[in-house]
Amino acid sequence: MTIMQLSWGCLAVALGLAVTSASAAPRKIDFNRDIRPILSDNCYACHGPDEKARKGKLRLDVAESALAKHAVVPKDLKKSELWSRVTTKDANDLMPPAESNKKPLKPEQLALLKQWIEEGANYQG
């Protein structure tokens, strides 16, 4: 094996490690890109802008409401009612509820919500 072949081999390994390392780092959550679609598809029917359909006087589309009701407590999963409700094993407390005809959140969606809350639950307009 020549020095040139060794150099190219080392370069290929180094580039492979750099790409792997960069892709392994979790990206920062963006509310509009990552969280709003989950809430919109699964929560806003009961906890969104429609005042007549709203349950529990809770809006998850407005930070002030979600924070005031402790549905979301930035950087604190244990105190975030949203997290408790989407991860509970109690069918009576699970959100979205069975009667909504929506399925429980997927593991990928739960991971995004978890990371969002842990990062500070930043909302965007």
The domain spans of the chain are: 26-119
Task: Give me 92's structure tokens.
Answer: 């009576």
Instruction: Read off the pLDDT of residues 1-16 as tens digits, 9 standing for 90 and up.
Output: 655 554 555 545 555 5
**Residue 84 pLDDT > 90, yes or no?**
yes
pLDDT of residue 9: 55
User: What is the helix, strand, coil percentage profile of the chain, to 5?
Assistant: 55, 0, 45
Q: Which of 81, 108, 107 is nearest to 95 (CA)?
A: 81
Longest dimension (CA), the chain: 75
pLDDT of residue 26: 77
pLDDT of residue 47: 97
Single pTM value for the model: 0.79
- The confidence band for 95, taking pLDDT boundaries of 50, 70 and 90, is very high
